[in-house]
Structure formats: C-alpha cells, structure tokens
Structure 1
C-alpha cells in the first residue's frame, strides 16, 4: 500500500488497484481531518455528529462523488449483501456487511477498527464490492458469498478480479479463545496455519490469509490479491483499533469512474 494525498486528505491505496483505470479507491487515515479532529466515519463512534458529516463530505469530495453517493452500511458481523444503486436508501443498508454496485459514481465502503476491510474489482464486467469481515464474517465466509453473488449476477470469474485486503489486526496481535478456534477449524479445516496455538487453550488467528484463501478458491490469481500488511494494533498511529480502545472507525471503499 502507499500513502497518497487526495483533495488535501491523507489516504491509503493498494498498488494493484491503483493501476486499474476504471476505478478509484481508498483507505482512510485516522489523522486526515484538516482541522486535526479524528477522521472517524461512524456516527456511533462519537457524539459529534457534525464531525462525521464533515468527514464523510470531505471523503466524498476526495473520491470525486456527491456526498449522497457515498454509501456506508450499518454493520453487524453477519453476511447480508446489498446491491447499491443511486436510489438505495439508508434503511436498506441496515444489518449489512457487504456492498456491490455496477453504477459509476456510486462509492461503496465499509468501516473497520481491527476487522478486515476488503475491496474487489471485476475488471471485465465493471462491477465492484466492499466487504467487512471480522472473525465472525470470515468463518461465515462472507467474502466467498460476495464473490458468488458477483458470479451469479454479473458472471464474474476469478481471473478478472483484483482484490485489496486492507489494514486490520494481524496474526501477531490477535489472540483468540476456544469459541473462535473451534469456528475457524470448522470453516478452514485444511488450513491449520491460520491458527498458531499459544498457552491456556488460546491461539493467534490470521484473518488476512483466511480471506486470501477464499479469493484463491474462487480462482483469483495470487498476483491480483494484495494484502496491506498493515496491522491496526501495531500501526495504531494511522488506523483506529478497537483492541487499543479506539471508538473511531476508518473506512475502505471503491467507486467506478464515470466513462
């Protein structure tokens, strides 16, 4: 990933997706607010609603879209997927963890503070997706479900998909207990490397590669998958982390350029 300045905002971009001419994309930095305020995108993260309104307005401007065309769902760690159009309402985005659109100028994004944000681009069918995948979403294979939805509706094939796995908690920083260990083993029984067992029946979980495996299984070429390798705990100066006690939420999103 690389740090860039867009319309005065400090943002992050994937190298592979930046090379695709049909899209714009971003991951926000917690310090990008020009007034020095936290650049949080979630209304539930602060009592200062106007701060979030202004942050979203600045982000939309940086992505060259109308602020009404910036869509962020109300996430609940499940697997509901919504196809977004210019007429999609806020109510339609409740309890949703993945967004898909084929409409240019519609910017879709997910919020995070340790969970894995993923952006997808089907370069043949000109369709994009944004996926929020914490441990619950990962073991429920929300990314796989989103890819299958793209396939069913648009004919997406893995060889045409470019994927960015964004900043999130790394295996080094993510120790989990028995409930998560059991769920991961059930979902990824052939990938024992996703869990590094520690003491007291705990283990460190690799969410990055758990999602990478779903992309590979769909047929996405290895060279078209980019993992940020930026841990929200280790790089807490740049990204919000719930494990570090942050209430704020950063966002990762993507928009089809108007042609």
Structure 2
C-alpha cells in the first residue's frame, strides 16, 4: 500500500494529475514486488525458527546458489541434485526444504537482485570474515558441481567475492582448495592413488611440499580456526549450516594427518 501512496504523492508533485495516475501504477508494482519478497522472507524466517540474521544467511545462501546454477540460462540436473544433496546434508525438515527450494527458485529468476542481496549479506556480516568465507565456499560448491566451472559462474563467484571484500587471489585459492578436497575425498584410502592423495592433501591445506613442518602446522591451525563450528556459531552462522564447516574441518584434519605420515616415512 505504501508504494501506491508514495508513488501518488511524488507523481502529483512532479507531473500534476497525470503524474498521480502514473505514480499509483508504479507504486502498485512496487507493492507487489515487496509483498512477494517479504512473503518468502517471513516464511523462511518462521520455518527455520531463527532471528533475522540467521534467516538472512539461509535465504541468501540458497538464493545465490540458484542464481549461480542458472548462470548459463539452464539449471542442469547435476545442480539440482547438488542443491538437494546439500539440503539433506543440513538435515532440513520437509518444511525447511520447501523454504530452501523457494529461495533457490527466487535466485533463478531473471530479475533476482543478486548484487543487492549479497551486499545486504555483507552489510550484516562484514565484521566476521570467517563467515563471509564460508558463504563463498558454499557458492563454490554449486559452481564446481560438474567438475569444470563455467566462465559465467566464475564471473558470479568473482562478483560475490568483490561484494564480500574477498580478493580475487583468495577466491582462486579457495577454488583450488575445493577441487583438491574433492580429489582427496575420492582418493583417500586407495593405496594405488597414494601419491595423488598426498598431492591433493597439500592443496587442501593450501601448502606445498617445500614448506617446513612449522609452516605446515601454522597453515593447518589457521584453517581449523577459520572453520571451527563453535566459533562460526558464535558469529551468527545457523546451526544447520555448521555441518558444512564440520565436514571441512574433518577433511583438513585428515589431509594434515596424511601429510604428516608421508613426511615421517620419508625421513
């Protein structure tokens, strides 16, 4: 209603009676848009049972995933399966899944305000860099689902990184770490692929074999601190999303243990 009222007042002041009619029309469309957006927002907040901040995290995460999945114009089966798998991993209820799917559909819309949504997320979490990085990692997971990241998706990831004040070099490192994490999970425990596992483990840690043990441990501890579930929860990450951080810390720890074993054998 406020859209029509404000539109009518501005229109009347600027263009007299024709402006009044035009203002009412424009205000009507604004009211409809805000009603639709607010409906999704209130729904996801009430069903997830969280405060505004955590509801923003959940909505922004799934909406951005939908937008990145639609980057080339068509959402593939692999993207839908990845999003569904992600919802299952989070342990969402049936109703929560419906709201997450609604957010995903919002993101796929041509007129979805992607940049403003990410900017709003940054505005609320800008003093918590570990949370911002976790959000970017979630978006990387949907972009890399088919193995080869598309240029359109990379540009959207770069846009997310820019809005979150994360450098391009940091984005590149996160992409390499995510891809290495996937290879590490596939090769772990396979004796025939031990060399590949060790190489992937180094990349998961963001390290190189030439690093000293002290440097390796420092990098490991930094990664563990960034993804510690308790720390992230205290910084406003919804409880459902903590499983993402927990699995990441498990992979980091497993990669570190494998590198330590390989180094002990070579001494």
Report the TM-score range of the alignment, normalised by the length of the smaller protein. under 0.3
Larger radius of gyration: 2
TM norm structure 1: 0.27
Select the structure with the greater relative contact order (CA < 8 A; seq sep ≥ 6). 1
Instruction: Please state which structure has a larger fraction of its residues in strand.
Output: 1
